[in-house]
């Protein structure tokens, strides 16, 4: 069928005006990262129960657009938190994953720890004694299970939005219940959640 030049030009104009799927995801990811930075700072300044305005809330599509392949550099709050939840509690129950997220947020709010999520996660790297074991285990840090990674993104989103109840009762430390590290005796146990045991300092001071 013959098409007129006008029809072809109209189709071309429509295609040009349509946003590319990749560009849309990138915009959502950038929005999520900007909001995560503001939410991170709010926790540092106000504590675990920081106030969150409607414009700061990360929505589900924004969170899922971040690091779609699980290969993004660890240089923003959301990706650092997601990757920590994923590697520390992948394969565990959702409650376990949520509890790990709460420990990161609790540390972020505590004056004894770094004032960024990525700083919290990377702490101890220089001394070879990482606070979160996945960061120093020498393995590839890219996420390879899409379903588990999507769950970790949703948990991280809710944690940064102050929408996640703290199952750990303010814990700053945790370990697998199948282990008994020497340091555990120096802290007060708060609760067991699934396969993890959680602790906080006896006198409030981080170590």
pTM: 0.83
Q: For residues 120 and 116, what is the distance between their CA atoms, to the nearest angstrom? A: 6
Q: What's the domain count of the chain?
A: 1
Any domain includes 152:
yes
CATH number of the domain where residue 73 is located: 1.10.10.2520
Q: How many CB atoms lie within 10 A of CB 151?
A: 19
Q: For residues 205 and 207, what is the distance between their CA atoms, to the nearest angstrom? A: 7
Q: Give me the pLDDT at residue 70, please.
A: 84
Q: Give me the pLDDT at residue 15, please.
A: 39
Any domain includes 120:
yes
Any domain includes 84:
yes
Q: Give me the pLDDT at residue 3, please.
A: 45
Q: Which domain holds residue 155?
A: 19-48+55-163
Q: How do the pLDDT tens digits run along the chain, 207 residues long?
A: 444 444 444 444 443 344 444 444 589 999 999 999 999 999 999 988 888 999 999 999 999 999 988 888 888 999 999 999 999 999 899 999 999 999 999 999 999 999 999 999 988 765 556 778 776 655 555 676 789 999 999 999 999 999 999 999 999 999 999 999 999 999 999 999 999 999 999 875 665
What 3 state SS string does 69-97 have?
CCCCCCCCHHHHHHHHHHHHHCCCCHHHH
Q: Give me the pLDDT at residue 142, please.
A: 67
Half-sphere exposure of 151 (CA within 13 A, CB side): 17
Half-sphere exposure of 150 (CA within 13 A, CB side): 5
Any domain includes 36:
yes
User: Which segments within the chain are labelled E, that is strand?
Assistant: 173-176, 187-193, 196-201
Calculate the CA dihedral of residues 10, 14, 16, 22 and round it to 10 degrees: -160
Q: Give me the pLDDT at residue 18, please.
A: 41
């Amino acid at each position: 069928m013959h098409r007129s030049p006008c029809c072809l030009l109209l189709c071309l104009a429509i295609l040009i005006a349509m946003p590319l799927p990749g560009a849309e995801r990138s915009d959502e990811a950038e929005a999520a990262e900007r909001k995560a930075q503001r939410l991170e700072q709010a926790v540092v300044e106000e504590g675990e129960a920081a106030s969150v305005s409607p414009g700061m809330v990360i929505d589900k599509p924004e969170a899922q657009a971040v690091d779609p392949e699980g290969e993004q550099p660890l240089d923003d709050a959301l990706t650092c938190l997601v990757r920590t939840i994923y590697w520390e509690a992948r394969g565990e129950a959702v409650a376990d994953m949520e509890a790990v997220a709460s420990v990161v947020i609790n540390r972020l709010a505590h004056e004894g720890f770094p004032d960024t999520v990525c700083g919290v996660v990377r702490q101890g790297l220089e001394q070879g004694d990482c606070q979160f074991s996945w960061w120093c285990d020498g393995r590839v840090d890219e996420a390879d299970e899409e379903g588990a990674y999507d769950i970790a993104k949703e948990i991280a989103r809710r944690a940064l939005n102050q929408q996640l109840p703290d199952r750990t009762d303010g814990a700053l430390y945790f370990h697998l219940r199948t282990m008994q590290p020497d340091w555990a005796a120096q802290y007060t146990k708060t609760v067991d959640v699934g396969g993890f045991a959680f602790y906080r300092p006896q006198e409030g001071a981080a170590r």
